[in-house]
Structure 1
Amino acid sequence: MASPDESLTEFFPKYNPPIRAHKYTCVGLGMEVMKRLKVLEKDFPGITKSMMLVSCDENIEDLIDYTTSFPGPQGFLIETEKDHVLVGFHVRVAGRPGVFLSDLGYHISRVVTVMADRCYPHTGWFTQSDEPHCRKEYSYQFNVHNPSYVEWHERETRGDKVKERLSLVYVTKAYLSAVAVTEKRNLVWDLRSLLARDPKGHLTAGIYFPLKKKDQQFTMFFDGVNGKQRKKLKFDSFLELQKIPDEVVDEVEQCNDQLRLRDGELLSVLKRLATIMTDEEYMTELLGINDKIVQLSAGT
């Protein structure tokens, strides 16, 4: 936005995104957990060498076609987004092969054990989150056609409606393009969020919003004196801080504290976001880049 001579469309292909401390996506979180787990090397020799980032393709439509066309993901690189990464460790339990998966990007508070024979200590189905309006359950298992892939099954229940989703994690080799591909792809994702979670991965406070050209608003949630609060607010009301109602400022400050930000930081972030969202040319370019990536991954 600061460059008067270059559009976002021209700038984005050559941009090399940094990994910013305390502002991690799944890529940074994976790198951070690998760095911290190195202290286990003394008690578990070889663990440092066995750790690796592994790539994940979300929303798989044809499982058999995907897993049997090629031994690895190389044949699909044009038509996939590789928009998520996890940390993987290959293990053997009494000679039986398996893999440990750590997914802080999806805020899973356990290390998932995936055994090839699906016997103990295979994790199987578990409840990832159970809120009054939505329950999410996950399960991981090796694909029967191609053991290079672990299937990640998600079951989301809202009332009497159940929605299922399938993703594939490639675990045979380390993913070497996490920053150049996944981190960069997520910069133009059309859903943004800033969230706080408890040690179990449950949401406690934050903001989230879709990127849109019109009707630009965000949802803010936090624990208030009367329990959980969820507010929908318009970005343009944050363009001039002195005009924000005192009640809204107070709610933003409560959310700010629960996000563990510096005093006034969330209000400042919202003002900067409001300024960005009103830049129609920038937003058009950003959403256009995202659309092109989606079209490319769909093979259209």
Structure 2
Amino acid sequence: MVAKAEAILSRLVVSENYDSVNNFLTLYDSYMASPDQTLKEFFPKYNPPIRAHKHTCVGLGLEVMKRLKTLEKDYPGITKSMMLVSCDENIQDLLDYTTSSPGPQGFLIETEKDHVMVAIHVRIGGRQGVFLSDLGYHISRVVTVMADRCYPHTGWFTQSDEPHCRKEYNYQFNVKNSNYVEWHERETRGSVAKERLSLIYIARAYLTAVNVTEKRNLVWDLRSLLARDPKGRLSAGIYFPLKLKDQQFTMFFDSTNGKQRKKLKFDTFLELQKIPDEVVSEVEQCNEQLRLRDGELLSTLKRLATIMADQEYMTELLEVNDRIVQLSAGN
């Protein structure tokens, strides 16, 4: 079953980019067309659309569930067993979080629920386990998490190994509360290793992924549009922080001279006719590797440049983001 699911996932990770750029553009257009005076007034009422081929982790999770339904014939019951589950990233106090109540109810104000993935509960010879799929973090394999941590438990695996950075992941049931799976991430740059802990709540399906997680993503201060290969490795794309000054983005793609990584200023794209030919050519190469329509990336960059130049809007957007961060920290 895992082998068949992974064949589906490795095709899906290639055909669907990770995209937190288009929902950002749609929010701006919707706000500009609304009668609301401020983004703070508009944001609570806004319902983000989930659009084909423009997916963050939420849309990717829904797409995974749709595709894995094709296994129902071979594995009856898989469709009913699949569910989106929520994940809190960067857990500070593991014991406090997992023991204060059976689930995350007590933390609903103080949590961002900033990520989702797909879970399928399984029993293997009476032993409890869960399969996890997370295309939002470019994982094109099925991760098997067994409560007893015995075979076929996945354990530590290398998610990406680039010259400048290696990422390793490990998933395990929390020993105090089996409603949670711990996700450990180890990032090594040179001789320095950083660890991060997230918690996945697997006891129930996460029913508010669009209203909470997708909406949270809209004002997140890092945006990206990324293509992946069948193993989930990043192959081309753009990414950038949201800032009021020194607004630039990184674009990366493969060229005849090897992997290219360019830092470009957004204001270069405000007037299309003034963009240097060399830059247009590089954007077109990246566009092709992102499998977008002709000229789509260039048009997207111009729209982004216009939004980034709108200082009043950007100030409001970053204030909404800061407020969410403060709320989730209990301030």
Q: 2:49 corresponds to which residue?
A: 18
| TM-fit CA distance, 1:5 | 3.3
Matched, 1:120 2:151: yes
Instruction: From 10, 20, 33, give the equivalent of 1:3.
Output: 33
Among 180, 186, 190, the alignment partner of 1:149 is: 180
State the shift of 1:42 in Å: 1.2
The amino acid of 2:319's aligned partner reads: G
TM-score (norm 2): 0.90
* Structure that is richer in helix per residue: 2
Report the AA paired with residue 171 of structure 1.
Answer: I
Provide the rounded CA distance (Å) in 2 between the counterparts of 1:188 and 1:93.
Answer: 41
**Correspondence for 2:81 among 50, 56, 79:** 50
Q: CA deviation at 1:40?
A: 1.1
1:196 CA displacement? 0.6
Q: Which has the higher contact order (CA 8 A, sep 6+)?
A: 2
1:71 aligned residue (82, 102, 120) = 102
Structure 1 consecutive aligned stretches of length 4 or more whose deviation exceeds 3 Å: none
Letter in structure 1 aligned against 2:49: P
CA apart distance, 1:36: 1.0
Return the letter of the residue paired with 1:121. Answer: P
Q: Partners of 1:2 and 1:289 in 2: how far apart?
A: 16
User: Which amino acid is the alignment partner of residue 199 of structure 1?
Assistant: P
Q: Identify unmatched segments of 5+ residues in structure 1.
A: none
For residues 26-67 of structure 1, the C-alpha deviation after alignment (integer angstroms, 9 at most, x for no partner) is: 111111110111111111111111000000000000000100
Q: Which residue of 1 aligns with 2:8?
A: none
Written as runs of structure 1 = structure 2, the 5 A alignment for 1:1-300 is 1-3=31-33, 5-6=35-36, 7-300=38-331
Secondary structure in structure 2 of the residue aligned to 1:79: coil
CA distance in structure 1 between the partners assigned to 2:47 and 2:274 by the alignment: 38
Question: Counterparts of 1:266 and 1:275 in 2: how far apart (Å)?
Answer: 14
- Show structure 2 runs of 5+ residues with no match: 1-30
Q: Percent identity among equivalent residues?
A: 84
Q: Distance in 2 between matches of 1:31 and 1:70?
A: 28
Q: In angstroms, what is the RMSD of aligned CA positions?
A: 0.8
In structure 2, how many angstroms separate the alpha carbons of the residues matched to 1:196 and 1:88? Answer: 24
CA distance in 2, matches of 1:261, 1:89: 32
TM-score (norm 1): 0.99
Partner secondary structure for residue 32 of structure 2: coil
What is the aligned length? 300
SS of equivalent to 1:78: coil
Question: How much has 1:2 moved relative to structure 2?
Answer: 2.1
Q: What CA deviation, in whole Å up to 9, does each residue of 1:236-282 have, x standing for no partner? A: 01001111111111111111111111111110000000000000111
